[in-house]
Amino acid sequence: MSEALMDAALGYARRGIAVMPLHTPVNGGCSCSAEHCDNPGKHPRLRHGVHEASRDPVQVRRWWKRWPQANIGLRTGEVMDVCDVDGPLGLKALRDLLGDLPTGPVVRTGAGWHLWFQPSGFGNRVGMLAQVDWRGAGGSIIAPPSLHPTGRRYHWARYSRGYLPPCPAPLLELLRPPPPREPREIIDPGPYAERAVERAVRSILDAPVPKVVAGQYQPGGRNDALNRAAYSLGKLAAQGYLDERRIWTDLTTAARQAGLSDTEIRRTIASGLRAGLGV
């Protein structure tokens, strides 16, 4: 499989897609050797991540000679954007929005699907629909034949060389940033809002961590707890009881203590807060 991974990485680079080596799932954990990795096999081996992704075949060969089992990461937003559907609920939400799905390339992941589109010009959007994220400018995805923590490999469910459909109009509407909001007058938060912040922070710190049970990887609940906390506090911010900057500060501190990565923290808080604010 190591030769197949290198050949695939070189193939993506030849098509103009910037490539980077990712860590690999290993025995229910991750090759990064972290005690509790929230994204086994899904995060970069390179210090600067997607910013170091390359189309240079010499560099790509050097990486896969050093890490022959490395999963393949691709930078999005240049050659393609990707709609990341993370399960059956996401597929249903997408079909409810679009009707028939576009007939472009589709990758089967461990738990869902990646639908490839022409670049939209927009950045990443986490939680644009239930179980649906968007990987655009500055983002990345995992490409076949990378290994998923479930033990299954990413593979092409539908492949169409050279053809990428444009992003459908309903998805473009979801990707457009909301208009600037008028600043809200902050009401004295009082004991209710203070207790809400304390409960939100405690829910993150008390959330279960990832673990392996009977050889099966269980992802834990820290990310979900952070999302719910951001959503609930965002609702209070929408009513003027909390300042958004405080929410970011308190939740970021708690999430770091819980062991989440800064990238995951930013994405999750932004998604939950946006939903709570109703924007």
Q: What pLDDT, in 10s, does the model give residues 73-122?
A: 999 999 999 999 998 999 999 999 998 888 899 999 988 999 999 999 98
pLDDT in tens, 110-136: 889 999 999 999 888 888 888 899 999
Which token pair is 70? 């490395």
| CA nearest neighbour of 210 among 202, 219, 201 | 219
pLDDT at 188: 61
pLDDT digits (tens, 9 = 90+) for 11-29: 999 999 999 999 999 887 8
Q: How far apart are CA 143 and CA 4, in angstroms?
A: 12
- Which has more confidence, 187 or 102? 102
The pTM score is 0.67
Report how far apart, in Å, the C-alpha atoms of 168 and of each of 56, 82, 83, 163, 279 are: 32, 12, 11, 15, 21
- pLDDT over 70 at 9, yes or no: yes
Q: What are phi and psi of 114, to 5 degrees?
A: -115, 120
Beta carbons within 8 Å of 48's beta carbon, 6+ residues apart = none
Which tokens hold the place of 36? Answer: 């509790």
Res 44 pLDDT > 60? yes
Place of tokens 């968007």: 134
